[in-house]
């Protein structure tokens, strides 16, 4: 029963990530632990690039987690939102970050959640 509860919580509500790489320096160092609120923007269908129900969108300066075009998870700061809702996400460490300057705007359906806590 505990396994099922953890699986549901991690699939729909919260997840833990360890920061890899230096793209978010100085705010987040490699090895930092972050908690991702997966329900911040809506109810996402696990393993699919789609939201069943959306109640919010990222705002400028929020730190979000999303899938890159290479299907890797990335943590970046939302810099702006297009009229269609796509976000321009950029790492705080501009010299070492592969971000929207490299792969363009991020579709809202690729966003996994918002970082709420980091240490």
Q: Determine the pLDDT at residue 17.
A: 92
pTM equals: 0.89
Is residue 14 within a helix (H) or strand (E), and if so which, with residue range?
strand 14-18
Separation CA 119–CA 115 (nearest Å):
11
User: Tokens in use for 93?
Assistant: 């460490």
Question: What percent helix, strand, coil does the chain show, rounded to 5?
Answer: 20, 35, 45
Superfamily assignment of 2-118 in CATH? Umud Fragment, subunit A (2.10.109.10)
As a whole number of angstroms, the distance between CA 17 and CA 92 comes to 18
pLDDT tens-digit series, residues 52-81: 999 999 999 999 999 999 999 999 999 999
Residue 47: the pLDDT is 77
Domain boundaries, the chain: 2-118
Residue ranges for the chain with pLDDT beneath 70: none
pLDDT at 72: 92
């Amino acid at each position: 029963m505990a396994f099922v509860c953890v699986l549901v919580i991690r699939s729909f509500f919260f997840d833990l990530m360890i920061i890899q790489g230096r793209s978010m320096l100085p705010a987040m160092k490699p090895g930092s632990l972050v908690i991702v609120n997966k329900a911040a923007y809506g109810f996402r269908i696990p393993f699919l690039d789609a939201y069943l129900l959306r109640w919010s969108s990222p705002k400028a300066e929020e730190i979000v987690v999303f899938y890159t075009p290479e299907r890797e998870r990335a943590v970046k700061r939302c810099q702006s939102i297009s009229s269609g809702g796509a976000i321009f996400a950029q790492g705080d460490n501009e010299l070492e970050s592969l971000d929207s300057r490299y792969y363009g705007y991020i579709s809202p359906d690729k966003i996994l959640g918002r970082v709420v806590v980091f240490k």
